[in-house]
């Protein structure tokens, strides 16, 4: 078995305090990386947890906060060579009923946030000559349409489009940009979506869960670690000839 060693890597992970981002943080630390977790939920500014883990407070929709967080992460850990954009939110409603403020908020966090952080990190990689990695956590919702998820699907389609453009533009400098498209992952956000979706569709959350599982050929929904393992692969030298890809981690639910 090939062991992936990230002990020479400094990583910035947005949304790393919960869900998929938290799973990626845990696995990257186990692989030896030095990690800065940037999350809006964190209440203290730049608190060092250990020599290899730093927490930063960051609203990814705020450009000045993004620029400051990138500078602080570099100050505390050294130049960032791997970025994982995992910050994301969702709201649910039928397309004809989506509120403008919900549309804007989901697009701001999921699409604009990915743009702002990726841009800031890519600029530093170019300035410093770093052959780095940018890994965007998109979704199978970036390839498909799902009822009551119009703003979320649109935001994740945007993430995939931006991933492809950055991959083309940064390839000459050996900065690899890829996306992961998770399927149904058991996180607090997914559990809340089942409650909200059940109300909209006059079902129970349990019925939604059964429906979820019935759509996955492998017969189960994902855990954050299932996505984290693919992120670890993309961060490693094993993926050195891959860029501009949107990799499904869906248990077979999405195959295109």
Closest CA to 246 of 165, 116, 138: 138
Contact indicator for 8, 82 with CB cutoff of 8 Å: no
Give me the mean pLDDT over the 201-214 stretch. 97
In the prediction, which pLDDT does 49 show? 65
In a domain, 162, yes or no: yes
Closest CA to 17 of 47, 52, 74, 57: 57
In a domain, 3, yes or no: no
In the prediction, which pLDDT does 45 show? 47
Considering its fold, how many domains does the chain have in total? 1
In a domain, 203, yes or no: no
CA distance 56 to 191: 26
Residue matched to tokens 């999921």: 110
Structure confidence by residue, pLDDT tens digits, 88-125:
999 999 999 999 999 999 999 999 999 999 999 999 99
CA distance 122 to 116: 10
Q: Which of 42, 146, 152, 241 is catalytic?
A: 152
In a domain, 4, yes or no: no
Structure confidence by residue, pLDDT tens digits, 28-57:
999 999 999 999 987 554 456 677 999 999
Q: Which two tokens stand for residue 133?
A: 């990695």
In a domain, 130, yes or no: yes
pLDDT at 75 over 70: yes
Domain holding 35: CATH number? 3.40.50.720
In the prediction, which pLDDT does 48 show? 60
245 burial class (0-12, 13-18, 19+ CB within 10 angstroms)? middle
The percent of residues above 70 in pLDDT, for the chain, comes to 96
In a domain, 32, yes or no: yes
pLDDT at 210 over 70: yes
In a domain, 18, yes or no: yes
Closest CA to 9 of 208, 231, 157, 209: 231
Give me the mean pLDDT over the 192-207 stretch. 98
In a domain, 141, yes or no: yes
Please give the mean pLDDT across all residues of the chain: 96
Give me the mean pLDDT over the 184-204 stretch. 98
Range of the domain at 37: 10-185+223-249
In the prediction, which pLDDT does 32 show? 97
Give me the mean pLDDT over the 81-93 stretch. 98
Which of left, alpha, beta for 75 (phi over 0: left; psi -120 to 50: alpha)?
Answer: alpha
10-14 β-sheet, strand order: 47-48, 53-57, 34-39, 10-14, 82-85, 133-137, 176-182, 246-249
Closest CA to 137 of 49, 40, 226, 61: 226
Instruction: Examine the residue annotation and report whether 152 is marked as an active-site residue of this protein.
Output: yes
The percent of residues above 90 in pLDDT, for the chain, comes to 95
């Amino acid at each position: 078995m090939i062991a992936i060693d990230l002990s020479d890597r400094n990583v910035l992970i947005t949304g790393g305090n919960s869900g998929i981002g938290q799973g990626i943080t845990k696995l990257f630390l186990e692989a030896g990386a030095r990690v800065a977790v940037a999350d809006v939920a964190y209440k203290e500014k730049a608190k060092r947890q250990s020599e290899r883990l730093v927490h930063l407070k960051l609203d990814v929709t705020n450009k000045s906060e993004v620029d400051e967080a990138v500078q602080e992460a570099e100050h505390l850990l050294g130049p960032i060579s791997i970025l994982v954009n995992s910050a994301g939110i969702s709201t649910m409603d039928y397309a004809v009923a989506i509120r403008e403020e919900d549309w804007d908020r989901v697009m701001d966090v999921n699409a604009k946030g990915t743009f702002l952080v990726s841009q800031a990190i890519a600029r530093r990689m170019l300035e410093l000559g770093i052959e780095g990695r940018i890994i965007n956590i998109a979704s199978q919702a970036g390839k498909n349409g799902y009822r009551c998820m119009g703003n979320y699907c649109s935001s994740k389609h945007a993430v995939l489009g931006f991933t492809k453009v950055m991959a083309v533009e940064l390839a000459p400098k050996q900065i690899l940009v890829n996306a992961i498209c998770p399927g149904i992952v058991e996180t607090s956000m997914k559990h809340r979506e089942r409650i909200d979706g059940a109300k909209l569709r006059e079902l129970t959350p349990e019925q939604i869960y059964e429906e979820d599982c019935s759509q996955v050929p492998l017969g189960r929904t994902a855990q954050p670690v299932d996505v984290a393992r693919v992120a670890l692969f993309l961060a490693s030298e094993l993926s050195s000839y891959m860029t501009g890809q949107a990799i499904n981690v869906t248990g077979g639910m999405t195959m295109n």
